[in-house]
């Protein structure tokens, strides 16, 4: 630097009185290569001298950040360098959404090391009362003719659900856990804030009679997804597992099914991924009616392929495809399920609630208890008989009889 600039070198750092205490500074090289002063403050001269010595040692080792990162800057780094390379694509999409829509706009400008429990609590309270349609400008993005709320000055009050609020807190907590690990901050303030648990609506699962009616209706209409509903209702397969099934994973001779893939939507892409856990990769025995439904599905798909001709796109040998052979969107399966239930004149229940009907349906289909046990263990469904007990024997027999008839007589 030379004597020209008149700046004193690091060796002669002076400690001076400052705001009822003392301060000192050290010249450091920042991560961007520029030189700057880094200050140390304290109540006593000794305290500042010690901090000054530490700063000195730090400056000798390499570049030093003179400013602490904002919450936004840290979250951006966390998403890119930690979440993206190490977690499932779906987790990245989910965390990124929470950061962009709910955390950043409120806490982004705060300094990471200055974030308090109170900040987090106030943020969550405020978040619950911020209309997301206004905040995200959803209405403004609509065509002028179809604007109906925030953009025309009438707030539609679409507040975030409890689940969103909990998810936002969890995302912040996950990021701060990392900041603690990297010693950027001392404690995780987000984990000290309690959030009310989302209330779960108790939905009464379908009885065997309702499930039987739904399935019989599906066969009668030659529903392309009939076999999917069979697998969901009889085996308790999850949405992604059903959509991820390949013909390779079905052994018609042994009457077994291998659940090893699932389909997920992550942002703009559909992923065909291996299932998470080893124990879910298991051979499941297929009850006779399920085998039959799968044979029907195979015939349908061959028909689709012929009809589509050149437009057919072969996608991973999937069992369930659109009429052009492409994978089915997980969200669409859920919608179609509700649509079909309504069409069959049944109560609409969420697709994942059908898992409770599974055990009773197996009993009604006279599936061997040993086989039933293996199926139920796969889906971790407790053996619940109350759904079965609700309907009278005759009703159950009639419903299952109708289904068997619809599928071409007998259960064989």
Phi, psi (rounded to 5 degrees) for 28: -130, 165
Judge if 151 and 254 occupy the same domain: no
**Over the chain, what is the mean pLDDT?**
82
Q: What is the mean pLDDT of residues 56-62?
A: 80
Q: Which of 192, 219, 236 represents a domain boundary (last residue)? A: 192
Q: Is the pLDDT of residue 409 over 70?
A: no
Judge if 324 and 259 occupy the same domain: yes
Judge whether 51 lies within some domain.
yes
Judge if 38 and 180 occupy the same domain: no
Q: What is the pLDDT of residues 2-14, one digit of tens each?
A: 444 444 444 445 7
Residue numbers of the domain that contains 25: 15-61
Judge if 101 and 53 occupy the same domain: no
Low-confidence winner among 134-138, 152-156, 315-319 (lowest mean pLDDT): 152-156
Give the chain's domain count.
3
CB 35 within 8 A of CB 27: yes
Judge whether 198 lies within some domain.
no
Judge if 150 and 292 occupy the same domain: no
The two structure tokens encoding residue 24: 């000192």
Judge if 55 and 95 occupy the same domain: no
Judge whether 3 lies within some domain.
no
Question: Which of the four pLDDT bands, split at 50, 70 and 90, describes residue 1?
Answer: very low
Q: What is the pLDDT of residues 92-128, one digit of tens each?
A: 888 999 999 999 999 999 998 889 999 999 999 899 8
Judge if 234 and 215 occupy the same domain: yes
Helix, strand, coil percentages (3-state) for the chain, rounded to 5, are: 55, 10, 35
What percent of the chain shows pLDDT beyond 90? 27
Judge whether 5 lies within some domain.
no
Judge if 48 and 77 occupy the same domain: no
Q: What CATH number is given to the structural domain containing 383?
A: 1.10.443.10
Judge if 36 and 142 occupy the same domain: no
Judge whether 199 lies within some domain.
no
Q: What is the pLDDT of residue 78?
A: 92
Q: Is the pLDDT of residue 345 over 90?
A: yes
CB 264 within 8 A of CB 242: no
- For the chain, the residue count is 412
Q: Is the pLDDT of residue 26 over 80?
A: yes
Q: What is the pLDDT of residue 87?
A: 84
Q: Among 223, 226, 333, which Cα is nearest to 290's? A: 226
Judge whether 8 lies within some domain.
no
Judge whether 201 lies within some domain.
no
CA dihedral sign of residues 100, 103, 104, 106: positive
* Range list of H helices, 113-236: 117-127, 132-135, 138-141, 162-181, 208-220, 226-235
Question: Which of the four pLDDT bands, split at 50, 70 and 90, describes residue 412?
Answer: very low
Q: Which of 163, 192, 221 represents a domain boundary (last residue)? A: 192
3-state secondary structure of 264: strand
Q: What is the pLDDT of residue 253?
A: 93
Judge if 270 and 398 occupy the same domain: yes
Q: What is the pLDDT of residue 2?
A: 46
Judge if 153 and 276 occupy the same domain: no
Q: What is the mean pLDDT of residues 247-263?
A: 86
Q: Which residue has the higher pLDDT, 88 or 333?
A: 333
Question: Which of the four pLDDT bands, split at 50, 70 and 90, describes residue 270?
Answer: low
Judge if 47 and 88 occupy the same domain: no
Q: What is the mean pLDDT of residues 376-405?
A: 66
Judge whether 197 lies within some domain.
no
3-state secondary structure of 245: coil
What DSSP character marks residue 256? Answer: E
Q: Is the pLDDT of residue 401 over 90?
A: no
Q: What is the pLDDT of residue 380?
A: 53
Helix 208-220 / helix 226-235 crossing angle, nearest 10 deg: 160
Low-confidence winner among 30-44, 115-129, 200-214, 383-397 (lowest mean pLDDT): 383-397
Q: What is the pLDDT of residue 12?
A: 46
Q: Is the pLDDT of residue 353 over 60?
A: yes
Q: Which of 192, 219, 240 represents a domain boundary (last residue)? A: 192
Question: Which of the four pLDDT bands, split at 50, 70 and 90, describes residue 374?
Answer: confident
What percent of the chain shows pLDDT beyond 70? 85
Q: What CATH number is given to the structural domain containing 120?
A: 1.10.150.130
The two structure tokens encoding residue 397: 């027999």
Rg (CA), the chain: 30
């Amino acid at each position: 630097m030379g004597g020209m600039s008149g700046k004193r070198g690091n060796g002669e750092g002076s400690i001076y009185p400052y705001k009822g205490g003392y301060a000192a500074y050290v010249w450091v090289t920042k991560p961007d290569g520029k030189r700057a002063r880094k200050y140390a403050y304290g109540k006593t001269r000794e305290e500042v001298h010690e901090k000054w010595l530490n700063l000195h040692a730090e400056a000798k080792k390499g570049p030093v950040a003179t400013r602490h990162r904002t919450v936004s800057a840290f979250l951006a780094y966390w998403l890119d360098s930690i979440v993206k390379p190490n977690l499932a694509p779906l987790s990245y999409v989910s965390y990124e959404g929470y950061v962009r829509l709910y955390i950043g706009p409120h806490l982004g400008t705060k300094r990471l090391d200055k974030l308090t429990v109170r900040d987090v609590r106030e943020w969550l309270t405020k978040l619950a009362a911020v209309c997301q349609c206004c905040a995200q400008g959803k209405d403004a993005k609509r065509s002028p003719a179809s604007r109906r709320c925030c953009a025309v000055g009438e707030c539609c009050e679409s507040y975030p659900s409890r689940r969103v609020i909990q998810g936002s807190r969890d995302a912040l907590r996950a990021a701060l856990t990392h900041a603690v690990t990297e010693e950027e901050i001392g404690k995780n303030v987000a984990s000290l804030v309690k959030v009310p648990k989302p209330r779960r609506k108790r939905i009464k699962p379908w009885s065997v009679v309702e499930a039987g009616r739904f399935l019989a209706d599906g066969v009668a209409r030659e529903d392309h997804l009939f076999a999917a509903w069979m697998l969901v209702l009889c085996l308790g397969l999850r949405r992604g597992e059903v959509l991820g099934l390949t013909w390779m994973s079905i052994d018609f001779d042994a009457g077994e099914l291998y659940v090893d893939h699932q389909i997920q939507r992550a942002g703009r892409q559909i992923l065909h991924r291996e299932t998470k856990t080893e124990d879910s990769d298991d051979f499941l025995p297929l009850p006779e009616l399920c085998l039959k439904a799968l044979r029907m599905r195979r015939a349908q798909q061959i028909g689709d392929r012929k009809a589509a001709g050149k437009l057919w796109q072969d996608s991973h040998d999937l069992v369930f495809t659109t009429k052009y052979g492409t994978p089915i969107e997980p969200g669409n399966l859920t919608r179609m399920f509700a649509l079909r239930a309504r069409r069959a004149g049944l109560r609409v229940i969420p697709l994942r609630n059908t898992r409770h009907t599974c055990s009773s349906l197996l009993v009604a289909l006279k599936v061997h208890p040993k086989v039933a046990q293996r199926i139920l263990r796969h889906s971790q469904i407790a053996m619940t008989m109350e759904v079965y007990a609700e309907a009278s024997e005759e009703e159950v027999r009639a419903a299952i009889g109708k289904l068997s008839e619809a599928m071409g007589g007998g259960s064989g």
